[in-house]
Amino acid sequence: MVHASLRMLIPPRERAGVVEFLIGFARSTRFEPGCIGCRVYRDLEQKKGIMLEELWKDEEHLERHLRSSGFQKVLLVLELSLAAPEISFEAVTRSTGIETIEEARCCTTAEGGIERRPRP
Protein backbone atom coordinates (compact mmCIF):
# COMPACT_ATOMS: atom_id res chain seq x y z
CA MET A 1 0.00 0.00 0.00
CA VAL A 2 1.24 3.52 -0.77
CA HIS A 3 0.21 6.70 1.04
CA ALA A 4 0.63 9.89 -1.02
CA SER A 5 0.16 13.42 0.28
CA LEU A 6 0.54 16.83 -1.34
CA ARG A 7 0.28 19.90 0.88
CA MET A 8 0.28 23.41 -0.55
CA LEU A 9 -0.27 26.99 0.60
CA ILE A 10 -2.79 28.62 -1.73
CA PRO A 11 -3.39 32.39 -1.91
CA PRO A 12 -6.80 33.45 -0.55
CA ARG A 13 -8.16 34.62 -3.92
CA GLU A 14 -7.32 31.25 -5.52
CA ARG A 15 -8.39 29.00 -2.64
CA ALA A 16 -12.08 28.45 -3.46
CA GLY A 17 -11.31 27.46 -7.06
CA VAL A 18 -8.46 25.17 -6.03
CA VAL A 19 -10.58 23.43 -3.39
CA GLU A 20 -13.43 22.96 -5.87
CA PHE A 21 -11.03 21.50 -8.45
CA LEU A 22 -9.36 19.15 -5.93
CA ILE A 23 -12.70 17.88 -4.64
CA GLY A 24 -13.74 16.98 -8.19
CA PHE A 25 -10.34 15.42 -8.81
CA ALA A 26 -10.62 13.34 -5.60
CA ARG A 27 -14.09 12.12 -6.56
CA SER A 28 -12.92 10.88 -9.96
CA THR A 29 -9.67 9.44 -8.55
CA ARG A 30 -11.63 7.19 -6.18
CA PHE A 31 -12.88 5.26 -9.24
CA GLU A 32 -9.41 4.62 -10.66
CA PRO A 33 -8.15 1.03 -10.46
CA GLY A 34 -6.06 0.48 -7.34
CA CYS A 35 -7.27 3.59 -5.51
CA ILE A 36 -8.18 2.82 -1.90
CA GLY A 37 -9.05 6.40 -0.98
CA CYS A 38 -8.60 10.04 -1.93
CA ARG A 39 -9.48 13.09 0.19
CA VAL A 40 -8.98 16.84 0.30
CA TYR A 41 -8.29 18.66 3.59
CA ARG A 42 -8.09 22.30 4.64
CA ASP A 43 -5.61 23.19 7.38
CA LEU A 44 -7.49 24.81 10.27
CA GLU A 45 -4.32 26.29 11.78
CA GLN A 46 -2.62 27.51 8.59
CA LYS A 47 -5.62 28.93 6.70
CA LYS A 48 -3.81 28.83 3.35
CA GLY A 49 -2.96 25.13 3.73
CA ILE A 50 -4.70 22.54 1.58
CA MET A 51 -3.77 18.86 1.41
CA LEU A 52 -4.59 16.15 -1.11
CA GLU A 53 -4.23 12.67 0.39
CA GLU A 54 -4.34 9.45 -1.64
CA LEU A 55 -4.03 5.80 -0.69
CA TRP A 56 -3.08 3.27 -3.38
CA LYS A 57 -3.08 -0.51 -3.49
CA ASP A 58 0.51 -0.59 -4.79
CA GLU A 59 3.20 1.44 -6.56
CA GLU A 60 2.13 0.25 -10.01
CA HIS A 61 -1.35 1.77 -9.63
CA LEU A 62 0.09 4.96 -8.13
CA GLU A 63 2.55 5.38 -11.01
CA ARG A 64 -0.22 4.95 -13.58
CA HIS A 65 -2.18 7.65 -11.75
CA LEU A 66 0.84 10.00 -11.64
CA ARG A 67 1.16 9.74 -15.45
CA SER A 68 -2.54 10.56 -16.01
CA SER A 69 -3.80 13.79 -17.58
CA GLY A 70 -5.87 14.42 -14.44
CA PHE A 71 -2.78 14.42 -12.26
CA GLN A 72 -1.06 16.75 -14.74
CA LYS A 73 -3.69 19.33 -13.74
CA VAL A 74 -2.82 18.80 -10.06
CA LEU A 75 0.80 19.63 -10.92
CA LEU A 76 -0.40 22.91 -12.42
CA VAL A 77 -2.32 23.69 -9.21
CA LEU A 78 0.86 23.03 -7.18
CA GLU A 79 2.50 25.89 -9.06
CA LEU A 80 0.06 28.28 -7.33
CA SER A 81 1.55 27.41 -3.93
CA LEU A 82 3.05 30.36 -2.03
CA ALA A 83 5.90 28.11 -0.83
CA ALA A 84 7.42 24.88 -2.03
CA PRO A 85 4.69 22.22 -1.72
CA GLU A 86 5.24 19.33 0.65
CA ILE A 87 5.03 16.09 -1.33
CA SER A 88 5.42 12.66 0.20
CA PHE A 89 5.02 9.05 -0.88
CA GLU A 90 5.23 6.38 1.83
CA ALA A 91 5.13 2.61 1.46
CA VAL A 92 2.88 1.17 4.17
CA THR A 93 3.79 -2.34 5.24
CA ARG A 94 1.48 -2.62 8.24
CA SER A 95 -1.71 -0.88 9.27
CA THR A 96 -3.60 -1.22 12.55
CA GLY A 97 -6.53 0.45 14.24
CA ILE A 98 -7.88 1.00 17.71
CA GLU A 99 -6.29 -2.20 18.96
CA THR A 100 -2.93 -0.38 18.99
CA ILE A 101 -4.33 2.25 21.36
CA GLU A 102 -5.94 -0.41 23.54
CA GLU A 103 -2.70 -2.37 23.74
CA ALA A 104 -0.63 0.70 24.59
CA ARG A 105 -3.05 1.92 27.25
CA CYS A 106 -3.62 -1.42 28.95
CA CYS A 107 0.05 -2.23 29.33
CA THR A 108 1.51 0.81 31.13
CA THR A 109 2.67 0.29 34.72
CA ALA A 110 2.22 2.83 37.53
CA GLU A 111 5.92 3.69 37.24
CA GLY A 112 5.49 4.58 33.58
CA GLY A 113 7.15 1.45 32.22
CA ILE A 114 5.55 -0.93 29.78
CA GLU A 115 4.34 -4.32 30.90
CA ARG A 116 3.48 -6.58 28.02
CA ARG A 117 0.53 -8.79 28.79
CA PRO A 118 -0.42 -11.66 26.56
CA ARG A 119 -3.52 -11.04 24.49
CA PRO A 120 -6.54 -13.14 25.44
Nearest one of 60, 77, 102, 80 to 26, comparing CA atoms: 77
pLDDT at 120 over 90: no
Would you list the domain boundaries of the chain? 2-106
Element (H, E) at 33: none
Does pLDDT of 108 surpass 70?
A: no
Reported as a single tens digit per residue, the pLDDT across 29-59 is 999 999 999 999 999 888 899 999 999 999 9
Residue pair 35/29 in contact by the 8 Å Cβ criterion: yes
Name the more confident of 51 and 107: 51
- Across the range 17-21, mean pLDDT stands at 97
Distance CA 61, CA 30 (A): 12
Return d(Cα 10, Cα 80) in angstroms, integer.
Answer: 6
pLDDT digits 0-9 by tens, 51-93: 999 999 999 999 999 999 999 999 999 999 999 999 999 999 9
Distance between CA atoms of 87 and 67, rounded to whole angstroms? Answer: 16
Question: Residues 6, 78: contact at Cβ < 8 Å?
Answer: yes
Could you tell me the pTM of the whole model? 0.81
Q: Please state, in angstroms and rounded to a whole number, the distance separating the CA atoms of residues 20 and 28.
A: 13
Q: What is the pLDDT of residue 25?
A: 98
Q: Judging by DSSP bridges, how do beta strands 86-91 and 35-42 pair with one another?
A: unpaired
Q: What is the pLDDT of residue 39?
A: 98
**Which CATH number does the domain 2-106 belong to among 3.40.50.10790, 3.40.50.300, 3.30.70.100, 3.30.310.50?**
3.30.70.100
pLDDT of residue 102: 84
Give the per-residue pLDDT at 117. Answer: 57
CA dist 67 → 12, 51, 100 (Å)? 29, 20, 36
